[in-house]
Every structure is written in structure tokens, then in C-alpha cells.
Amino acid sequence: MIVKQPSETRQISVAFGVALSAVVSVVITSRALISGSVLPTASAQAVAGSAVTLLLAGGTDGERYQVTVRASTAAGETRERDTEVAVIELGWETPAAGAYLSPAALIERAGIDIVTRLTDEDGLGRIDAARVAGALADAGAEIDGYVSSRYALPVTPAWPMLTTIAFDLAIARLWQARGDAPGGVAEAAAAARRQLKMIVDGLIVAPAGTTPATAAAQPQPVLFQPPSAGPTLRSRDLRNL
């Protein structure tokens, strides 16, 4: 499933697996989850080898759409493919330190139905943005706590392994709130933490060009100036006070 925001114009690619010659039609239908929802528009339709690319704009927050693409093959046949698109408002703020994985990427990896199930405590059939943002922020902070001993933050260039680790940790946190996480979820989170420990130990090295952490400043000795010569207060002087 493809995830886009209502205000976003996103390019999508629909694969056919055979050489294509032309786009025949693009039809978009709504799942009618939201009353009064509007259809997205498709433009810039083009053949790119064995796929059709197009620009998808608009749509209603919370609605899902089926995009049906028909294209003719080089052999003169007409073939059809369907793609599911979910329109979700994803303008959620996450701390810069937790930017290893975007909300859209998490939803696309896990599936919108799973993320909805994990966050929709009120039974509204909608994703709870605050819960997703919180899980991503927590995962990012945990990653930073490990990798900052080796690399400068934020970590650049992008490190795909950290994206996967962020996903595993964030999903584990969302499941943890429910208390019924499948065994594979906990195992993936444990494996992610083992990888982070290997980064700290230098057994896993970041991609070339990643900035190393700046050496910690060494404490400077504090120098005390000895008192200048002169009258001093002796014990017998104290007795005479």
C-alpha cells in the first residue's frame, strides 16, 4: 500500500512485469471510508519500461483509494493492475534526534491496518498520530544513546541499518502498549539492540563519510595559588582571642 498526504503530490509506479507501449486508462475509486471524500487526481501518466508512472495529487485524509491502471503491451495485449493508496495527514512533529524513520515509512513497512490496530484505542478506525510520533521519538533517542559514542549526531549520510533498527524498536514500543506482542516483534527489537551494541564496540562500522564523534574534552587541572608570605594566625593566637 502506498501512503500519501492530502496536500502531497506523489509519484507512484505500477509494475506490470512486461514491456509496455502505452497507457490505456487510469481509474481511481474510493473505498468510501470517509463521508464526502474526494478523489485524488492522476496526471503525467507515462510508460517507463515495464511500469506505468503517474503523479497522484489530493484525496481526503483517512480515505483509501484503489488506482486501476490499464496499459497495452509491446505485443498488443491490454493488461490491468491495481494499487492501493491510503491518504493520511502525516504532518506530525518528531524530534530531530528521532528522525531515522518517518511516520509514512513506518506505516508503509508495517501496513496501515497494523498501525491502526496498535494505536486506535478509541475505535475510530484512524491512526493515533501522537502514539506513532512518540514511538518514533523513543526509538530515535535510544539509537542516539548508542551511536553518539562513535558518531556525530545527526548521523549523516543516511544509514539504512539505523532505519531498520528504528522500525523494529518503534513497532516493539507500539506493541508493548497493548501487552500482546508476537514473539517475532520482541526478537527483532532484541536483535536491533545487539546491533547497536556492536556499533558501540566498533564491530559494525558506519558507511564511508559518516562523521565520527568529537573527542570528549579532557578535564583541565585546577591550579591554586599559594598564599603570599605574611602574618598568620597561630593556635596560641586563637586561644588568646
pLDDT digits (tens, 9 = 90+) for 81-113: 999 999 988 766 555 545 799 888 899 899 988
- Residue 119, domain extent: 96-200
Contact of 140 with 166, CB cutoff 8 Å: yes
Q: What is the pLDDT of residues 20-53, one digit of tens each?
A: 999 999 999 999 988 999 999 999 999 999 999 9
pTM of the model: 0.69
Among candidate residues 53, 87, 121, the one where a domain is terminated: 87
Residues 80 and 102 in one domain: no
Is 58 a domain residue?
Answer: yes
Interval 4-16: pLDDT, tens: 989 999 999 999 9
| Residue 210 maps to a domain | no
Helices (H), the chain: 103-110, 112-119, 129-147, 160-178, 183-200, 235-239
Looking at the structure, do residues 117 and 81 belong to the same domain, yes or no? Answer: no
Q: Is residue 83 part of a domain?
A: yes
Number of domains forming the structure of the chain: 2
7: domain CATH number is 2.60.40.1220
